[in-house]
Structure 1
Amino acid sequence: MKDILFLSDLDNCLFQSLRVNSAGVHPMTFKASGEAHCFATEAQNTLFNLLKPRAFCVAVTARTPDQMQRTRGWAPEHINQLALTDHGATLLYRNIDDSPIWTPLPAWSDTYRDAARVCEAPLEHDLDTLSAFLPELFLPAHAKAKIDLSYSFGGDVPFYITLQIKNLKAEEIAKVMQIVQLQLEPVLQTLQGTYIQHQNDYTLAFWPTYVSKEKAAQRLISALKTGIGDARFDQAAHEIGEIALILTAGDSHTDVPFMRLGDFMLTPAVSPIAEQAGQHAQRHMNI
């Protein structure tokens, strides 16, 4: 029985594309075509392997259920497994002795689905508002902006907005995405909904505030003791006994709220969290 609860972000934390880090050697995610997409470095792979024998591991990710299904390198060592996807709006379950397929647990997501339906009209309005602004974005000549509405809860409920700036060179991404966010500030004041902005590489996502990794992780920690009214969840909860340690991991500023629910936090040395911490330390030490 496990006594460590490991709640971890995935992308740019436990693995990333070779374009982001060419040192990746262990395939972790795969495209729909079957081609390997993201890889873990030796250090990332060693960290995960170090934790797996003793930890009940739960992914806490913005990935969709379909993307999580193709994250084949995420392989905890307990039979009944859970994963929080869609920023925590969806809780997936699988029993790896029976099948590698992840299955959503409706008892978890029903509340979020209802909220998404209520927010459907404002979300579509805000998509139109942002779409109308795209021609005014100042971008490198070779870059192209693409905006989409992403669906969840079976694929029929509008959930969040993604803005991608494509065709950027690796060394351009950080600066261009920062400039894009600055340009968007005035138009964001006119949106009907309220959102959390989450940047991952060249993608900027606008997530509704009724869902967050922090809220989902807090709910999960409590539910491991009380249940959610689902027998499959109960089977997973039985894999972990009295929790001696909650360990969290993430790389971005939007991960920090859920990471602070743990006893200790892990972040890659090259990450927005580590960079901000380093800058803060320099200011306070007058370096």
Structure 2
Amino acid sequence: MSGPTNQPAIVAFADLDDTLFQTLRKLPGIDPHTLTPATVSTRGEAHSFCTPAQAELLRLLACGGVTVIPVTGRDLAAMARVTLSFTSWKIVDHGLTLIAPDGEVETEWAGHVRVHLHDLQEALAAATAHLEARAQRLGCRLTRHHAHDLPFMTVLKHPDAHAEALEELQLRWEAFLTDQGLENLQIIANANNVSVLPRLLGKLEAVQHLRQRHFSDAVLTFGLGDSLSDLAFMSACDFAITPPRGQLLRAVNAARLPQR
């Protein structure tokens, strides 16, 4: 999804899951005949879908010559199961991997990421080990994710999305990072996922890198996302767009701040 090259560059950096599409579980009561398939499962079956509004948003961006760049936590394999057409750059692995329009991983960014990940290996391993026993007792599983052959994130899930178990473990993780002074790591949570990953190496830094190296001539940028973890890269754009039922807008609606 990219526009003509003879007009001023307009770029939309867009989170994918729960921003541009979602699973049927998150679309109760909607007529499935109005949906557009957007991803397939590992078995090749339709898995996530665009609503009519999401499909129309993508159509309008394409008609307006806007270059749409995915900014996603999906890895390379999961990104390959997205059936929507994205023809420019792609940001995957929570920002740790950049895929060029020709499908190749950008080596400059990969080298930068490896240097920083090497310095985080001890902290990531300690954070993971701290939760292993308690997570197992609560029926949760921890999965370590890799980028450029190095662990960069550990994801906590419960098979039944047990909110109390996830909350307890999230609080334990946050307390551990604080107690150990591991300010270079952060905890993010959304739905049934609680993850520990680098604080200063992610979607924001990847977006900044692309803007500086490849889209310095952009006259207008949009940031699209649904989660609090998307806020940093969205704030680096000229305008931010978020769906009404996402974590980000729920948090804003729940805030009780004085009006000034």
Give structure 1 stretches of 5+ with no counterpart: 96-101, 138-143, 227-241
The structural deviation recorded for 1:38 is 1.3
1:106-145 deviations in whole A, cap 9, x for unaligned? 12211101222332233223222210232565xxxxxx30
Which structure has more strand as a fraction of its residues?
A: 1
Tell me, what secondary structure is at the counterpart of 1:94?
A: coil
2:20 aligned partner: 14
Give 2:170's aligned amino acid.
Answer: Q
Give the Cα–Cα distance (whole angstroms) in 2 for the partners of residues 200 and 30 of structure 1: 21
Alignment of 1:129-148 (within 5 A): 129-135=130-136, 137=138, 144-148=139-143
* TM-fit CA distance, 1:225: 5.1
Q: Which letter maps to 1:39?
A: F
8 Å CA contact 1:122–1:192 kept in 2: the answer is: no
Matched, 1:92 2:99: yes
Q: Contact conserved, 2:131 with 2:169, CA < 8 A, in 1?
A: no
Q: Contact 2:157–2:166 (CA<8 Å) still a contact in 1? A: no
Q: Percent identity?
A: 26
Q: Per-residue CA shift, 1:231-273, capped at 9, x if unaligned?
A: xxxxxxxxxxx42211111111111111111111100011122
Which residue of 1 is the match for residue 145 of structure 2?
Answer: 150
| Cα distance in 1 for residues equivalent to 2:239 and 2:112 | 30
Q: Does 1:200 align with 2:190?
A: yes
Report what 1:104 is aligned to: 105
Q: Considering only aligned residues, what root-mean-square deviation do their CA atoms show, in Å?
A: 2.3
Q: Distance in 2 between matches of 1:274 and 1:122?
A: 32
Rounded Cα–Cα distance in structure 2 between residues aligned with 1:161 and 1:224: 31
CA distance in 2, matches of 1:278, 1:33: 38
Q: What does residue range 1-287 of structure 1 map to in structure 2 within 5 Å? A: 1=5, 3-22=9-28, 23=30, 25-53=35-63, 54-73=65-84, 75-76=85-86, 79=87, 81-95=88-102, 102-135=103-136, 137=138, 144-153=139-148, 156-168=149-161, 177-190=166-179, 193=182, 194-224=184-214, 242-280=217-255, 283-284=257-258
Distance (whole Å) between structure 2 residues aligned to residue 181 and residue 121 of structure 1: 20
User: Alpha-carbon deviation of 1:52?
Assistant: 1.4
**Structure 1 counterpart of 2:56, one-letter code:** T
Pick closer, same or farther for the CA change 1:160–1:243 going to 2, 3 Å: same
C-alpha separation in 2, matches of 1:130 and 1:180: 7
Contact 1:115 1:210 in 2 (8 A): no
Residues 158 and 165 of structure 1, relative CA distance in 2, 3 Å threshold: same
**Matched AA of 2:196:** F
- Counterparts of 1:196 and 1:182, CA distance in 2: 12
Gaps in structure 2 of 5+ consecutive residues:
none
TM-score, normalised relative to structure 1: 0.77
Paired residues of 1:126 and 1:191 also in contact (CA < 8 A): no
Structure 2: which amino acid aligns with 1:15? Answer: F
Q: Tell me by how many angstroms 1:176 deviates.
A: 5.8
One-letter code aligned to 2:89:
L
| TM-score, with length taken from structure 2 | 0.85
The count of aligned residue pairs is: 247
- State how far apart, in whole Å, the 1-side matches of 2:202 and 2:89 are: 17
